[in-house]
């Protein structure tokens, strides 16, 4: 993909439509039997990987499992879009583990959850964004 293609995707006024275009391209490729799409694993080419806006559009639940502290958290892709942006690749951890201070141990998985999965499931939802000042001591 060219740089020009990147900027046209970014500046697209209707993100939902651009996602739909990408999805229809994927299903066209699948119907040709040319290649397996993102389920086959992340590609080196970011344009071939599922983006957060695709996952949000599909109503996906993103599960982050940190194998360092063995903690598992569930998020709605539609919530993560607001935090990491629509072009964030879903397979990349959105942030480091808050306990381990690293993303190295985080496994990301995603699924369209069925009713059975959602029963009794706890999902992390954004409440509000907090902005705060950082202070430091300096020589007068
Ligand atoms: Zn951890």
- Please name the residue that has the structure tokens 């109503």: 59
Q: What is the spatial distance between Cα 40 and Cα 116, in angstroms, rounded to a whole number?
A: 26
Better-predicted residue by pLDDT, 40 or 80: 80
pLDDT, one tens digit per residue, over 56-114 is 999 999 999 999 999 999 999 999 999 999 999 999 999 999 999 999 999 999 999 99
Is 5 in a helix, a strand, or coil?
Answer: helix
- State in Å: Cα 107 to ligand 1 middle: 10
State whether the Cα torsion 106-110-113-117 is positive or negative.
Answer: negative
106: CA distance to ligand 1 center in Å?
7
Distance 69 CA to ligand 1 centre (A): 4
- Name the H helices within 58-103: 77-84
* pLDDT score of 42: 82
Residue 128: CA count within 13 A, CB half-sphere: 3
Across the range 21-32, mean pLDDT stands at 45
Map out the domains of the chain as residue ranges: 48-118
Element (H, E) at 27: helix 15-32
């Amino acid at each position: 993909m060219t740089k020009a293609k990147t900027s046209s995707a970014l500046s697209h006024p209707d993100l939902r439509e651009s996602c739909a275009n990408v999805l229809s391209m994927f299903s066209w490729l699948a119907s040709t039997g040319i290649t397996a799409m993102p389920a086959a694993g992340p590609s080196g080419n970011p344009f071939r990987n599922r983006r957060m806006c695709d996952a949000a559009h599909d109503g996906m639940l993103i599960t982050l499992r940190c194998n360092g502290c063995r903690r598992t958290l569930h998020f709605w892709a539609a919530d993560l879009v607001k935090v990491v942006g629509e072009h964030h690749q879903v397979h990349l951890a959105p942030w480091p583990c808050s306990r381990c201070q690293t993303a190295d141990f985080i496994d990301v998985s995603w699924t369209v959850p069925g009713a059975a999965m959602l029963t009794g499931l706890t999902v992390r939802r954004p409440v509000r964004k907090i902005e705060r000042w950082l202070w430091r001591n300096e020589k007068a």
